[in-house]
Homo-oligomer: A and B are copies of this chain.
Amino acid sequence: MADSRSRDAAVSDRMHTMFHRGSAIRQMFEEGLRLKEQYGADQVADVSLGNPDFAPPVTFNRALHIMAREQRRHCYMPNAGYPEVRDTVARHLNRKGLFEDLRGEQIVMTCGAAGALNVVFKTILDPGDEVIVPRPYFVEYRFYVDNHGGRLVLVETQDTFDLDVDAIEAAITERTRAVLVNSPNNPSGRLYPQSTLEALSAMLLRKERALGRRLFLISDEPYREVIYDGRRFVSPAAVYPNSFMCYSWSKAFSISGERIGYLAVNPALRTDDWTTLMGALAMSNRILGFVNAPALMQRTVAAAIDAEVDLRHYAAKRERICATLAEAGYRFRAPEGTFYAFPETPEPEADFIDRAKRHLLLVTPGSAFGREGHFRISFACSDATVALACRKLMTLAEACGLPPSKRRVPAHV
């Protein structure tokens, strides 16, 4: 140990490896900054990041202003959050039809969905336990599972990016503890249909009986309000009983920096000891160092919980991107939710990412999500950036010699 640490004695071996393994994306990010300096920020179409920088809903701003003016206290509350906030969230989820009889006691307020996922993993994972994740997937999941000694097991999705229930079933072993799904999906934009979720649930219930032990479903759904074409969101966490729902207001309210979200346990989860389960979740929140979700933000999102989120600007940007991708001849499926498109690269991925960079278009390679041969475009950006990105996508398609025969009209047009 002492020897290998000589590389950099200040950082653990484990962290050293993780840090330098992640350097490709960091280099890309730094190169992006360099390009913007060199050519001017308005010449570079950076559609690589999923950071919605829009004004929060008016209701949220108003609630925050009132909270600040009232100068309430800001001290600790129970680790699971303010009881009245938890009740408000539970009533909200019941009213929206996501659950029927959820109670405040089945909720833990968390530092965003990232906090919620870590709290769930800390609570349910023993070292070596496996968590199945369909790919393409949000890369942070690997760290969240690893933080608690778990092991990520990746499975393929269908060509349509819908879940492949058979593939998930085939991946279940004696050490499987949970399946983690993300709908609508970052990066594919796929919203899992109710029929798929019901098939998943039926399979998991069958496997639970066969294995004689619990299999959990964890649903990461921060994008659930960001969906298009009048589609209806069905929560995976509501379809399967032994589920944890992880939510964040980051995307819906454009407040990703405030770290406010929650986890909700499906009230139909079968346990003979709810006290231990909810107590252990609150204890995880505490001992991981979150302690509790930020106090002021708990009260603010509760006060603004019925804010109507106007996502029309995303819809317009999505139309524009999809129309361009179709016209230019890229192979892709129009996203049903999220603010990402995930087309196929018209040449080997690394070549295309490089070519795009030379044209000052910054996108994220599909391999960063475990699905090579694709690239992710984020349209959580200004109209000007979308317009610039679209022009560059057209140019790139021509440069790659995309023939008109490959053009495909997206599903929604």
Question: How extensive is the interface on chain A, given as a class?
Answer: 35 or more
Which listed residue, B22, B76, B277, B294, touches A11 by the CB 8 Å rule? Answer: B277
Q: B76 near A55 (CB under 8 angstroms)?
A: no
A65 CB within 8 Å of chain B: yes
A125 to B147, CA, bound (A): 12
Q: In the complex, how many angstroms separate the beta carbon of A86 from the nearest chain B beta carbon? A: 15
Residue ID in chain B nearest A116 by CB atoms: B289
Q: Can you list, as one digit per residue, whether each of A272-298 has a CB less than 8 Å from chain B (1) or not (0)?
A: 110011011001101111111111110
Q: In the complex, how many angstroms separate the beta carbon of A8 from the nearest chain B beta carbon? A: 5
Q: In the complex, how many angstroms separate the beta carbon of A271 from the nearest chain B beta carbon? A: 4
User: Which A1-30 residues sit within 8 Å CB-CB of chain B?
Assistant: 1-2, 5-6, 8-16, 18-20, 22, 26
Q: B10 near A276 (CB under 8 angstroms)?
A: yes
CB contacts (< 8 Å) of A280 on chain B: these are: 11, 15-16, 18-19
Known: A55-B71, A75-B51. A8 touches B272 (CB 8 A): yes
Residue ID in chain B nearest A112 by CB atoms: B291
Q: B283 near A18 (CB under 8 angstroms)?
A: yes
CB contacts (< 8 Å) of A174 on chain B: these are: 2
CB contacts (< 8 Å) of A71 on chain B: these are: 55-56, 61, 64-65
Q: B269 near A10 (CB under 8 angstroms)?
A: yes
* Assembly stoichiometry (copies): 2
Residue ID in chain B nearest A293 by CB atoms: B259
Q: B213 near A2 (CB under 8 angstroms)?
A: yes
CB contacts (< 8 Å) of A6 on chain B: these are: 213
Which listed residue, B1, B8, B53, B283, touches A126 by the CB 8 Å rule? Answer: B1
Q: A257 near B289 (CB under 8 angstroms)?
A: no
Q: B118 near A289 (CB under 8 angstroms)?
A: yes
Given contacts A16-B276, A64-B71, A77-B257, 14 further A-B contacts (CB under 8 A): A1-B175, A2-B213, A5-B213, A10-B214, A10-B242, A11-B273, A12-B124, A64-B68, A76-B257, A111-B111, A117-B289, A147-B289, A257-B294, A296-B297
Q: B213 near A283 (CB under 8 angstroms)?
A: no
A306 CB within 8 Å of chain B: no
Q: Can you list, as one digit per residue, whether each of A351-365 has a CB less than 8 Å from chain B (1) or not (0)?
A: 000000000000000
Q: B214 near A254 (CB under 8 angstroms)?
A: no
A87 CB within 8 Å of chain B: no
CB contacts (< 8 Å) of A209 on chain B: these are: none
Q: In the complex, how many angstroms separate the beta carbon of A295 from the nearest chain B beta carbon? A: 3
A157 CB within 8 Å of chain B: no
CB contacts (< 8 Å) of A258 on chain B: these are: 74, 294-296
Q: In the complex, how many angstroms separate the beta carbon of A220 from the nearest chain B beta carbon? A: 12
Known: A114-B291, A115-B289, A289-B112. A129 touches B12 (CB 8 A): yes
Q: B287 near A10 (CB under 8 angstroms)?
A: no
A67 CB within 8 Å of chain B: yes
A312 CB within 8 Å of chain B: no
A159 CB within 8 Å of chain B: no
A277 to B9, CA, bound (A): 9
A267 to B345, CA, bound (A): 45
A-B contact pairs, 23 of them (CB 8 A): A8-B271, A8-B276, A9-B271, A10-B276, A10-B277, A11-B123, A14-B126, A18-B287, A53-B75, A56-B74, A61-B71, A64-B296, A68-B68, A75-B256, A111-B294, A118-B288, A147-B289, A256-B291, A257-B296, A258-B296, A259-B293, A259-B295, A296-B296
A163 to B119, CA, bound (A): 35
A73 CB within 8 Å of chain B: yes
A231 CB within 8 Å of chain B: no
A122 CB within 8 Å of chain B: yes
A293 to B258, CA, bound (A): 8
User: Which A68-84 residues sit within 8 Å CB-CB of chain B?
Assistant: 68-69, 71, 73-77
